[in-house]
Structure 1
Amino acid sequence: MTSRIVVFGATGYTGRLVVESLLAKGQRPLLAGRSHTGLQALADPHGLPFQTADVTDPSTVRALVDPGDVLVSTVGPFSRFGHAAAAAAAEVGAHYLDSTGEVDFVQEVRRRYSAQAAGNGATMVPAFGYDYVPGTLAGAVAAERAGTAAGRLSIGYFTVGSLRRGISGGTRATLAEGLALPAAVWRAGSLQYTRMASRTHAFRIHGRVRRAFLATGTEVLFLPEAFADLGAVEVYNGWFPALSRIAGPLTWVTQKLERVPAGKRILAAAAKQAGGSGGGPDAQERSKSLSHAVAELDGQDGRPAVEVHVQGPNVYTLTGELLAEGAMALQQGKAVGSGVLGPVQAFGLEGLTTLCASAGLTLASD
């Protein structure tokens, strides 16, 4: 029996982009989510199967997949709502991808489910979208080119073009909530934590110097495992140059507020306000911007050694394309490992490069 691709959260903004991409590639995924009416409206025009499932009843999520199926989850925030899908995949032996940008969720998924998934022959690759495949690809190519000369790897995320009306409600809420979280970095052989936006880094993008603030990403978890010579890995966010100038003081204030009950309530209200009504930019708005990531690798002497750029479509379009291509690769048996893995460990660098190219993410010149 041919394995199926199941899109959980299919009626949400990211889920719809994944479904759209799969349909364009000739796939017929099973659509899943809470709303029977919403699923039917999305499925019927294409003659697609659909099935209701709710994270509050994990048995309904487990019922979505059989061994060897591919479960794509876009149901977030993942730290609150993502575990039902991850647990189901590991328990059943289904492959798994998700669209999370929450590094703490990825760490918890590894801790809870990796051994069980590996034992059941399942490959689970969380954060397989714009968060954090572009930086992983650029960083891995840089590390491979540098060989044993690797020192500090600095990865920057940028956009090219206008994002004025091109940010989803979920992204706005994530940015607001993230100000109170610590940034994970890899230094001196261990994972360490520091204040978000505690410093900035200047990158050169298309001939212009653009500054980005210290953020976080799953690159700090997975790249040191794939390239043991890396001395440090840091991830920076350069979407908004103006924000990079004030992000440091903002995170200092938000982390102070996070320590008291009244402050937590203020931050929760701010994140909810930032999220708005949800949804995201339409195809026309997405066409106005591109995604760009850069990896700068210093040698062990502290001097610049390698610089790698990758560029692809709009951040949301890219996420839909990557999840669709990743699901097809898992369905076709192209994974090279099992358990909860990073993109390089799951597909190998050559396989990941090919997969990313099919999604429109390619190596680029500065």
Structure 2
Amino acid sequence: MSWMIYGAYGYTGELIAAYAKERGEQPVLAGRNGEKLKAVAERLDLPYLVLALDDPQKLRAALAEHDLVLHCAGPFELTAAPMIDACLATGTHYLDITGEIDVFELAHAKHEQAQQAGVVLCPGVGFDVIPTDCMAAQLKQQLPDAVALQLGFDSTSRMSRGTAKTSVRRLGEGGAVRQNGNIVAVPLAYQTRTIDFGAGEKLAMTIPWGDVSTAFYTTAIPSIEVYVPASPKLVKRLQRLNAWRWLLRFEWVKNYLQKKVEQQPAGPSERQLEEAITYVWGEARAANGKTVSQQFKVMNGYKLTSRGAVDVACFILQQQPKGGYYTPALLCGADLVERYFVDV
């Protein structure tokens, strides 16, 4: 079976390619920057193909030679649609490492088309959203009549430049939660609460994480919020920023912020990859007030992404599931996350 990693020279893409090689896989590495791509491919002794998303004919010709593509080139709001359309046209399974709500919704909207094409569409096969998606599935199993779900995570790891770029691009859109089955736009730092993610109680705020989309398809729970720790100062700063979010929607402002991000390190250091664990938390509530909650600890988010993305790719190539849209937990089971637990 032949598969491709697109965007293999980005920080996370290179981690994924290195882990695939470590596992004995031979994916074709692809991307638009030939110089950067060649450097990674030669270091890992893997085949490569220079390929741009803005040439649909060449893209489809390349994908037709592969059973699966693992898409790692963001921001996915700009890159996912052409790749998904090409995969549906060529019968190529599609995975990505997005955490962007709009991309999950786009993929879900193509469920019937994917079924007909025999193509698996499963975005979010990294830290976004494997651990929280599995948490949601496990809580649903424990409380089948849950009507509200809150998820969250606490990590001390640095963001990669790619993640940071995506985050600043979305600032102008504010936050998002799911209410009564519908995704609703809300202000930044819309809700706050105190949560013990696993290392003591912390103030936390809502963020527009991918589970606002995916956890609904995994669990059918109609109300969903996702939280991360935040200092009182940060919460107040974001709440004040809501009055100026309209300015952050201009493309020139987004480009300016992304250039500032370029000055940051590419991603977590080797030490952070090995030592910075992530606490994952979830709580489900039924209409009668009954609640269940749980916590677990997983490896650094970027390390988890490198493992999870390759694991899901290999699962599809080996098991050949039916075509359609999937979340990671629906595709591989709620226990998928247990591969990435750490004991600290």
**1 CA distance for matches of 2:123 and 2:245?**
27
1:319 aligns with 2:305: yes
State the partner residue of 1:116.
Answer: 113
- Structure 2 CA distance for aligned equivalents of residues 334 and 313 of structure 1: 28
Give % identity: 24
Does 2:170 correspond to 1:178?
yes
**Distance (Å, rounded) in 1 between the aligned partners of 2:43 and 2:289:** 57
How far does residue 13 in structure 1 lie from its aligned partner after superposition? 1.0
Matched, 1:142 2:139: yes
| Alpha-carbon contact 1:296-1:308 (below 8 Å) kept | yes
3-state DSSP class of the match of 1:287?
Answer: helix
Please name the residue that 1:347 is paired with. 332
Paired residues in the alignment total 344
Question: Helix, strand or coil: the match of 1:100?
Answer: coil
Is the aligned partner of 1:61 residue 2:47? no
Instruction: Please report the TM-score for the alignment, with normalisation by the length of structure 2.
Output: 0.90
C-alpha displacement at 1:207, in angstroms? 4.8
Cα offset, 1:67, TM superposition: 7.3
- Provide the C-alpha distance between the structure 2 equivalents of 1:332 and 1:243, rounded to a whole number of angstroms: 49
Q: Which residue of 2 aligns with 1:156?
A: 152
After TM superposition, the structure 1 = structure 2 runs for residues 290-301 of structure 1, keeping only pairs within 5 Å, are 290-301=277-288
Q: Give the letter for the 2:172 counterpart.
A: A
Q: 1:45 to 1:245 in 2, by over 3 A?
A: closer
The Cα shift of 1:234 comes to 0.9
Identify the residue that residue 125 of structure 2 maps to in structure 1.
128
1:193-246 Cα offsets, whole Å, 9 max, x none, are 222311212211335112221112332323333433x241111222x4356533
Q: Aligned pair in 2 of structure 1 residues 251, 275: CA closer, same or farther (>3 Å)?
A: farther
Aligned CA distance change for structure 1 residues 322 and 66 (closer, same or farther; 3 Å): same
- In structure 1, the partner of 2:247 is 257
Deviation at 1:168, TM superposition (A): 1.7
**Shift of residue 91, structure 1, vs aligned partner:** 1.3
TM-score by length of 1: 0.85
Q: Secondary structure at the match of 1:152?
A: strand
The one-letter code matched in structure 2 to 1:133 is I
The partner residue of 1:233 within 217, 221, 224 is 224
Range moving further from structure 2, 311-320 or 176-185? 176-185
Amino acid at match of 2:283: E
- Distance, in Å, in 2 between the alignment partners of 1:313 and 1:61 is 34
CA change 1:108–1:31 in 2 (3 A) is same
Distance in 1, Cα, partners of 2:257 & 2:38: 34
- Return the match for 1:191 from 169, 177, 183: 183
What are the Cα deviations for residues 101-136 of structure 1, in whole angstroms up to 9, with x where unaligned? 21112222333x433321111111112211122111
Q: Find the aligned partners of 1:313 and 1:63 in 2 and give their Cα distance.
A: 37
Letter in 2 for 1:78: F
TM-superposed deviation, 1:321: 1.1
Structure 2 vs 1, CA of residues 344 and 68 (structure 1 numbering), >3 Å: closer, same or farther?
farther
Task: Could you tell me which runs of 5 or more consecutive residues in structure 2 were left unpaired when the two chains were aligned.
Answer: none
- What corresponds to 2:198 in structure 1? 206
Q: Distance in 2 between matches of 1:275 and 1:198?
A: 29
Q: Is the 8 A contact 1:6 1:64 kept in 2?
A: no
- Residues 66 and 243 from structure 1, CA distance in 2 versus in 1: closer, same or farther, beyond 3 angstroms? farther
- The equivalent of 2:36 in structure 1 is 38
What's the secondary structure of 1:64's corresponding residue?
helix
Q: How does 1:44-83 map to 2 (within 5 A)?
A: 44-66=42-64, 69-83=67-81
| Superposition deviation, residue 153 in structure 1 | 0.8
Alpha carbons 1:127, 1:133 under 8 Å: kept = yes
Given that 2:164 and 2:261 are in contact with CA atoms closer than 8 Å, whether structure 1 keeps it comes out as yes
Question: What SS does structure 1 have at the residue aligned with 2:225?
Answer: strand
| Corresponding residue number in structure 2 for 1:22 | 20
**What 5-or-longer segments of structure 1 have no aligned partner?**
none
| Deviation sequence 1:289-320 (CA, Å, 0-9, x none) | 112221111222234x2112232111111111
Measured after TM superposition, the shift of residue 328 of structure 1 is 0.6
Query: 2-side partners of 1:39 and 1:190: how far apart?
Result: 41
Find the aligned partners of 2:244 and 2:258 in 1 and give their Cα distance: 12
Distance 1:334 1:308 in 2: 32
Contact residue 214 and residue 236 of structure 1 kept, 8 A: yes
The aligned residue for residue 86 of structure 1 is: 84
CA distance in structure 1 between the partners assigned to 2:294 and 2:15 by the alignment: 28
Letter in 1 for 2:125: F
The superposition leaves residues 251-309 of structure 1 with CA deviations (integer Å, 9 ceiling, x where unpaired) of 413424347x6xx6445423431343662223223223112221111222234x21122
Cα distance, 1:175 vs structure 2? 2.9
Structure 2 residue aligned with 1:306: 292
Distance 2:233 2:312 in 1: 32
CA RMSD of aligned residues (A): 2.5
Equivalent residue, structure 1, for 2:236: 246
What is the alpha-carbon distance in structure 1 between the residues aligned to residue 223 and residue 18 of structure 2?
Answer: 38
Change (3 A) 1:275 1:152: farther
Please report how far the alpha carbon of residue 356 of structure 1 lies from its aligned counterpart in structure 2 after TM superposition.
Answer: 2.9
CA 1:273–1:250: 2 relative to 1, 3 Å = farther
Following superposition, the deviation at residue 247 of structure 1 comes to 4.9
Q: Quick one: structure 1 residues 247 and 175, their matched pair in 2 at CA, closer, same or farther if it must change by over 3 Å?
A: farther
